[in-house]
Structure 1
Amino acid sequence: MEKAKVYFTDFRCRPGKNNLQKLQKLCKKAGIERINFEGKFVAIKMHFGELGCLASLRPQYVKAVADLVKELGGRPFLTDCNTLYPGSRKHALEHLDCANLNGYNTVTTGCQIIIGDGLRGTDEVEVPVKNGEYVEKAKIGRAIMDADVFISLAHFKGHEMTGFGGAIKNIGMGCGSRAGKMEQHSSGKPKVDESKCKNCHRCAQECGSDAITYENNVAHIHEDLCKGCGRCIGACAFDAIETVEWDANEKLDRKMAEYAQAVCQDRPCFHINLVMDVSPNCDCHAENDAPILPDIGMFASFDPVALDQACADACMKAAPMPNSQLSDNLAKPDWHHHHDHFLDSNPNVDWKTTLEHAEKIGLGTREYELVCVR
C-alpha cells in the first residue's frame, strides 16, 4: 500500500486570518471537495463531552466543518451514540441536554444533532466487518449508517484505556450502539447491585433474551440466557446494573479498529483530528486534567490510520507540559521512563495495537506523507 497523505496546519494566525478559516482551507487542501456532497446526508461524528469536561472541541470548529459541508451541497448533522456507563449521555434525552449545555446546538453549530443509536441506545444496524478477526457483525447506530457520507471530527487527546483517542476511537467506539460498546469493552455479562435495585422491572422489559427475573423484589440476571448486549444498563434509571468483566486493552484496541472498519467501508469518508487541549484522559470524564502536551495543530486525511499515526508522531516530538499528569510521572524518582508520552502518562495502555490491527484489516496504512498547509 502506498503512503497516505495527511495534511497539517498549526494554530498560528496572522492578522486577518483565523483558525476556523484555516480549518476549512486544510479540509479543501486535503481533498474534501472530491466527495460528492450534493443532496447527501452527512454524519459528522464527534464527542460532545461529559458534563463538567471543558476539553472537548469548541463548537466554532464544528460549525466551520458543517458550513463547509453545506457549501459543498451536503446536509450535515452532528451525531454520537449513547454511552454504556452511567453519566450524562446514557440515553438520547440526557445526551441532547448534555450537548446543548456543553455548547453544541443548532445555533452554535449550524446543524441538527441526531443521537445515532436512538432513545435508549438500541437503534442499531448489524454491519459485517470486512477482514474482521474478532467481530463478525458490528452493531452500529442506525442514523450513522443511514448517512451517505461520514466525517469524523475528533479531539485528539490521551486516553486511560487506549493510550490516545483520535479518529479510530471516535469512529469505532463512538459509533457503536450500547450493545456494540458492550461487545468491544467486555466479553462478560452485566451484574446487578442489589443495594441499588428499586424493583421497577424496567430492565426486564428491555431485555430481549428473557434473562432477567425478580427474586425477593430484586432483579437477577441469568448468565446462561444473557447475550451481554448491555441494554439493561441503559434501561436502569438507578445505575444498579453494570458490567464487571473488562477485556484486556489489546483486545479492546483490535475490536475498536474492526468497528471503525464497519463504519467506514463502502462509502465516502473524511477524517479530521484537532490536537489541542491534550488532556490525559477521555472527554467521557466529568472533568479534564491539565493538558499533558502543548497544542500542536489540525490534521486531515482520507485515511484514519495514517491520520492517527501522524498525530501520535507529532505528540511524541512535543515537550511535556509542566504541572501535568505526564510531567508529574516523569519527575518521580522511581519512574520507569517509557520514552512514549502516552505510556508515561497512562502506563497500562498499548496504543500501537489499534493502528497495527487497523492496518492489518485494511482500514488504512501507517505510512504517510505529511503535507503542511500555511
Structure 2
Amino acid sequence: MTASKVYFTNMRTKPGRNMLDKLTALLKKAGMNTIHFDNKFTAVKIHFGEPGNLAYIRPNYAAVVIREIKKLGGKPFLTDANTLYHGRRANAVDHLQSAMENGFNRIAVGCDVIIADGLTGNDYIEIPIELKHCQTAKIGSAIAQADVFISMTHFKGHEMTGFGGALKNIGMGSGSVGGKMEMHSTSKPVIVEENCTSCGICIRNCAQHAISFNDNKKAAINYDLCVGCGQCVAVCQFDAARVIWDKSGDTVAEKIAEYAYAVCKDKPHFHISFVMNVSPDCDCWDLNDQAIVPDIGIFASFDPVALDRACVDMVNQAPMIYGSVLTDKDYEEGEHEDKFGHIHPDTHWKACLDHAESIGLGTQEYELVMVK
C-alpha cells in the first residue's frame, strides 16, 4: 500500500504567525478544502472533556476548523456521543452542560453542539460492515446521518488501549451507548440490586420486555429475552444497570477499528490530532495528570491509521518529562521502549492499527510533511 501523507506543524510561533494561524495553514496544506462541503451537514467529532480535566482540545482550535468549513459552504456542528459509564457526559442534558462549561458553545466556536446519540444514548443507526467482530455498528445518528465527517483528537495515553488517538476518538467516541457496550463486552448487563431505586425506567425502555420487578421490587433481567443492547445501562441514573467488562484489550481495540471503519465508510472524512498536553490517561477522567512529553504539535491527514502511527512515533521519539508518571514507573531515556506500553503494560496499542490496516481503513506507512 502506498504511504499516506501526514501533515505536521510544530509549536514554534512568531509575531503574525500564532498557533491558530498555523492550524489554518495546516488544514489548507493537508487538503481539507478539497472536500465538497457546500450545503453539507458536517459532523466535527471532538471530546468535550469531563469537567475537571483540563487537557482537552482548546475551543479556540475548534473555532478555526468550524470557520474554515463554513467558508467552504458547509453546515458544521460539534458532536460527541454519550458515555457508557456514569459521569457528567452520560446523557445529553449533562453532556451539553459539560461542553458549555468547557467553552464549546456557539459564541466561542461558531456552531452548535449536538449530542450524536440523543438524550440517553439510544438514538443510533446500525451501519452494516460485516467484519471480523461486528456485523453492524451502532453509530450515533447525528454522526451517521452527516454528509461529511471531521475528527479532532486530543492524542494522549489510555488505560485500556495504550493511547487514545484518532481511531479511538472516531470508533469508540461515535458509538451509541449500546455500541460502546458491544465494543467493551460480550456479556449481557447485570443489575446491582442495592443501587436499584425501583423507578422502573429500565423496564419501560427495554424493547425486549426482558426486565421486570422481582419479589424485592427490584429490577431483574430475564436473560432468555435479553439481547444485550445496553439500553438499560443507558437510561439508569442510579448505576444499578451495569456492564460486565470482560473483553480483552486486543479485542476491544479491533472492535474500535471496525466502528471507525463504519463511521468513515461511504463519506468524505478528514482527521486532525493535537499532540499536546499528552496526559497518561483518557480525558474521560475528571482530572489530568502531568504530561509525559513536551508539547509536539498538530497533525492532519485523510488517513486516520497513518495519523495515529505518526503521532505515536513522534511521542516515542520525544524526550520524557521528568516527574511525570514515566518517572514513577522507572522509565529511562535511551531504553527505546514504547512510552505508552511502559505506562500501561497490559495494553497493546498496535492491535488497533494492525486491524484497521487489515480492513482497509488506512495504512501505517506514512510520509511526514512539515508545514511551517
Aligned partner of 2:152 in structure 1 is 153
What secondary structure, in the 3-state scheme, does the structure 2 residue paired with 1:140 have?
Answer: strand
Aligned partner of 2:303 in structure 1 is 303
Aligned partner of 1:343 in structure 2 is 341
CA distance in structure 1 between the partners assigned to 2:99 and 2:275 by the alignment:
21
After TM superposition, list the pairs within 5 Å mapping 1:91-110 onto structure 2.
91-110=91-110
Aligned partner of 2:34 in structure 1 is 34
Q: Is the counterpart of residue 119 in structure 1 residue 119 in structure 2?
A: yes
Q: Is the counterpart of residue 280 in structure 1 residue 280 in structure 2?
A: yes
What secondary structure, in the 3-state scheme, does the structure 2 residue paired with 1:189 have?
Answer: coil
Aligned partner of 2:359 in structure 1 is 361
What secondary structure, in the 3-state scheme, does the structure 2 residue paired with 1:6 have?
Answer: strand
Query: In the alignment, residue 93 of structure 1 is paired with which amino acid?
Result: V
How many residues align? The count is 369
Query: In the alignment, residue 315 of structure 1 is paired with which amino acid?
Result: V
* More displaced stretch, 190-199 vs 298-307: 190-199
> C-alpha displacement at 1:347, in angstroms?
1.1
Query: In the alignment, residue 162 of structure 2 is paired with which amino acid?
Result: G
Query: In the alignment, residue 372 of structure 1 is paired with which amino acid?
Result: M
After TM superposition, list the pairs within 5 Å mapping 1:159-198 onto structure 2.
159-198=158-197
CA distance in structure 1 between the partners assigned to 2:24 and 2:113 by the alignment:
21
TM-score normalised by the chain length of structure 2: 0.97
CA distance in structure 2 between the partners assigned to 1:246 and 1:40 by the alignment:
40
What secondary structure, in the 3-state scheme, does the structure 2 residue paired with 1:173 have?
Answer: helix
Query: In the alignment, residue 315 of structure 2 is paired with which amino acid?
Result: C
What are the Cα deviations for residues 10-30 of structure 1, in whole angstroms up to 9, with x where unaligned? 011011111011011101100
The answer on whether the counterparts of 1:292 and 1:327 sit within 8 Å (CA) in structure 2 is: no
> C-alpha displacement at 1:285, in angstroms?
0.6
Q: Is the counterpart of residue 2 in structure 1 residue 5 in structure 2?
A: no
> C-alpha displacement at 1:331, in angstroms?
5.5
What are the Cα deviations for residues 230-255 of structure 1, in whole angstroms up to 9, with x where unaligned? 11112112111211232000000000
What secondary structure, in the 3-state scheme, does the structure 1 residue paired with 2:203 have?
Answer: helix
> C-alpha displacement at 1:307, in angstroms?
0.3
What secondary structure, in the 3-state scheme, does the structure 1 residue paired with 2:194 have?
Answer: coil
Q: Is the counterpart of residue 76 in structure 1 residue 79 in structure 2?
A: no
The 1:39–1:341 alpha-carbon spacing in structure 2 relative to 1, beyond 3 Å, is same
Q: Is the counterpart of residue 247 in structure 1 residue 247 in structure 2?
A: yes
CA distance in structure 2 between the partners assigned to 1:299 and 1:139 by the alignment:
28
> C-alpha displacement at 1:197, in angstroms?
0.7
CA distance in structure 2 between the partners assigned to 1:227 and 1:330 by the alignment:
45
CA distance in structure 1 between the partners assigned to 2:139 and 2:76 by the alignment:
19
> C-alpha displacement at 1:223, in angstroms?
2.1
CA distance in structure 1 between the partners assigned to 2:192 and 2:50 by the alignment:
24
> C-alpha displacement at 1:190, in angstroms?
1.2
CA distance in structure 1 between the partners assigned to 2:71 and 2:197 by the alignment:
51
CA distance in structure 2 between the partners assigned to 1:109 and 1:96 by the alignment:
14
The answer on whether the counterparts of 1:338 and 1:344 sit within 8 Å (CA) in structure 2 is: no
Aligned partner of 1:139 in structure 2 is 138
The answer on whether the counterparts of 1:43 and 1:144 sit within 8 Å (CA) in structure 2 is: yes
CA distance in structure 2 between the partners assigned to 1:235 and 1:33 by the alignment:
40
The answer on whether the counterparts of 1:330 and 1:344 sit within 8 Å (CA) in structure 2 is: no
CA distance in structure 2 between the partners assigned to 1:322 and 1:211 by the alignment:
53
Runs of 4+ in 1 over 4 A off after TM superposition: none
What are the Cα deviations for residues 311-353 of structure 1, in whole angstroms up to 9, with x where unaligned? 0100110111111112210269xxxx78110011111110000
TM-score normalised by the chain length of structure 1: 0.97
The answer on whether the counterparts of 2:153 and 2:165 sit within 8 Å (CA) in structure 1 is: yes
What are the Cα deviations for residues 180-213 of structure 1, in whole angstroms up to 9, with x where unaligned? 0000011111111111111110111111111111
Query: In the alignment, residue 192 of structure 1 is paired with which amino acid?
Result: I
CA distance in structure 1 between the partners assigned to 2:338 and 2:94 by the alignment:
37
Query: In the alignment, residue 349 of structure 2 is paired with which amino acid?
Result: W
The answer on whether the counterparts of 2:52 and 2:287 sit within 8 Å (CA) in structure 1 is: yes
CA distance in structure 2 between the partners assigned to 1:245 and 1:353 by the alignment:
19
- What root-mean-square deviation, in Å, do the aligned CA atoms of Structure 1 and Structure 2 show? 1.2
The answer on whether the counterparts of 1:82 and 1:117 sit within 8 Å (CA) in structure 2 is: yes
The answer on whether the counterparts of 2:122 and 2:234 sit within 8 Å (CA) in structure 1 is: no
Structure 1 unmatched runs, 5+ = none
CA distance in structure 1 between the partners assigned to 2:229 and 2:326 by the alignment:
36
CA distance in structure 1 between the partners assigned to 2:107 and 2:324 by the alignment:
35
CA distance in structure 2 between the partners assigned to 1:58 and 1:275 by the alignment:
12
Aligned partner of 1:319 in structure 2 is 319
The answer on whether the counterparts of 2:125 and 2:144 sit within 8 Å (CA) in structure 1 is: yes
